Chains A and B, each alone.
Chain A
Amino acid sequence: MEKRELTCINCPMGCRITVTMEGDDILSVEGNTCKRGFLYACNEVKSPVRTVTTTIKVTGGLSDRVSCKTKEAVPKDKIFEVMEVINKASCKAPVAIGDVLIEDCAGTGILVVATKAVGSV
């Protein structure tokens, strides 16, 4: 049996939620004061995911960095692996919003896309 402590992010209450688990099974969720907190806790203990937003190098552009994001949220424990891949990558100007800059980032199967346009020199 394992107890996991979380802070709910749905509202400023920030309820401290305790989830008791047995392997992958949730035995109990305590401390939440609403349904949204319950759902948040269940998702967060099973598969916490985050969208990574950062920048990527651009060559031949009016700017040498462009902002980007993972098109979907990636597993939380993969954040730094994703960053490492993005940090090493680069793209060529021009870049348009939504352009795919990296396919299958760090084996997550998730795309990295540009969030801003960069014109070429």
Chain B
Amino acid sequence: MKADIVIVGGGPAGLAAAISAAKEDKSLDILILERDNELGGILNQCIHNGFGLHTFNEELTGPEYAARFEEQLDGLGIRYMLGTMVLDVSSGSVTAINSKEGVFKVNCGAVVLCMGCRERPRGALNIPGLRPAGVFTAGTAQRLVNIEGYMPGREVVILGSGDIGLIMARRMTLEGAKVKCVCELMPYSGGLKRNIVQCLDDFNIPLLLSHTVIDIKGKERVTSVVIAEVDERSKPIPGTEQEIACDTLLLSCGLIPENELSRSAGVEINPSTNGPVVNESFETSIPGVFACGNVLHVHDLVDYVSEESGRAGRSAARFVKNKATAEGPVIKIRNGNGVRYTVPSFVRVNELSDDLVIRFRSGNVYKDSYIKVLFDGETKLSRRKPIITPGEMEQVILKKEDLANTPSEILIEIAER
């Protein structure tokens, strides 16, 4: 089998990448390989609204947002295969399996990795206790409720205040469950303010900051969990334990980019994002292999995924056309004070076709501070921000002409007042 560009994953990132690549060059043969039985990825189970304000200037639900992209595929001649799992990726080919073709290889000019992310399971959180039924990641519960129409539980405690957990607190409540509380290990929530107000406050669900689950009880099905307050080192404080009767514990404790394919292909991974190290074109350390969306770094808004993936798709199309990448200066982007990571990690100035968007996350909550961009130690840009939180992605946009003098290094930092 052959294609010009193979897109691994047909979720929001894959759809946007495929569409922009096709728009960049209509003659390209683009193939999306999707492991599920429908396109759209996780958007299919995100039936709540709040998607698309940046992309479409209106508020859509997840399935509606996905449909806006899916309906463009046919017109652009983009092919896709469902129920198809990619097993192996290299710079010139992708190996996959499905029930019709068996194991097959697609030779291609470029690959765009759009595998998304997975949730951190109970096992990775070292939560003590028994291992009964009734412990779910919030996303698994979301699938059961929204797609399959089943209730994973009736009396619920949620650990982690990530957006999926908050959304599920409301969703379970609307379906008649009692959500007893949401515990958050950190002294701040990782979720959007809007979700805290509209998913918790609206329904009087308490958000317990600096709290965690220290025991899970119940031999067959969860019967209760024990929660406790934690100190600044995240250690449970003796004497603060409370046992809460419940039949379900939902976990919303972080997302992990799914880079097993990338790793086995030999793609260099950034330990801060757990995603590939990429340049301005979203190209990984392997030429012709691009990455975008949550497999690259975990986003808070799907609109940013679409925008970023659009750039990755266009880059892949250009790569297939031009093959050779331009020689020229490379600017390293470094993260300074308060910045956990940046995407991209470096910029090849000659490859920059329009402006440069640098996305990053902070490692802490900063109030009334500045986002600073330094070119070789000299402040180029300083923007006041009333608040910066780890839960919300930040960005700075640099114009191509800003980089005309090609500094050797760009540093992004948060300066406190």
Contacts and interface: CB of A to CB of B under 8 A. Distances in A.
Interface of A: 7-14, 33-34, 50-55, 57, 63-65, 67, 69, 76, 79-80, 83, 97, 115-117
Nearest to A6: B197
A63 B386 CA distance: 46
Smallest CB-CB A-B distances: 10 pairs? A67-B47, A116-B63, A65-B149, A9-B194, A115-B61, A14-B193, A13-B387, A12-B389, A53-B48, A9-B197
Given A12-B392, A97-B64, A54 B193 contact: no
Contact of A69 (B49, B193, B194, B391): B49
Interface of B: 44, 47-49, 59-61, 63-64, 67, 145-149, 171, 174-175, 192-194, 196-198, 201-202, 367, 386-389, 391-392
A80 B63 CA distance: 23
A69 B61 contact: yes
17 contacts: A9-B192, A9-B197, A12-B192, A14-B193, A14-B196, A33-B386, A34-B386, A53-B47, A55-B149, A65-B146, A65-B149, A67-B63, A67-B146, A69-B47, A69-B61, A80-B174, A97-B63
Given A7-B201, A116-B44, A64 B193 contact: no
A63 B67 contact: no
A50 B198 contact: yes
A79 B174 contact: yes
A10 B64 CA distance: 24
Contact of B193 (A11, A34, A63, A115): A11
A56 B145 CA distance: 11
Given A12-B389, A50-B202, A7 B197 contact: yes
Contacts of A13: 193, 367, 386-387
A62 to B, nearest CB: 10
Contacts, number: 79
A115 B59 contact: no
> Is the contact region of chain A dominated by helix, strand, or loop, or is it mixed?
loop
A83 B150 CA distance: 16
B63 A52 contact: no
A115 B63 contact: yes
Nearest to B67: A97
B146 A55 contact: yes
A37 B234 CA distance: 33
Contacts of A69: 47, 49, 61
Contacts of A115: 47, 60-61, 63-64
A65 B148 contact: yes
A97 B145 CA distance: 20
Contacts of B389: 12
Contacts of B145: 55
Nearest to A67: B47
A12 to B, nearest CB: 5
B193 A8 contact: yes
A38 B44 CA distance: 35
Nearest to B203: A79
A21 to B, nearest CB: 19
A50 B201 CA distance: 13
Contacts of A34: 386
Contacts of B60: 115
B172 to A, nearest CB: 11
A12 B392 CA distance: 8
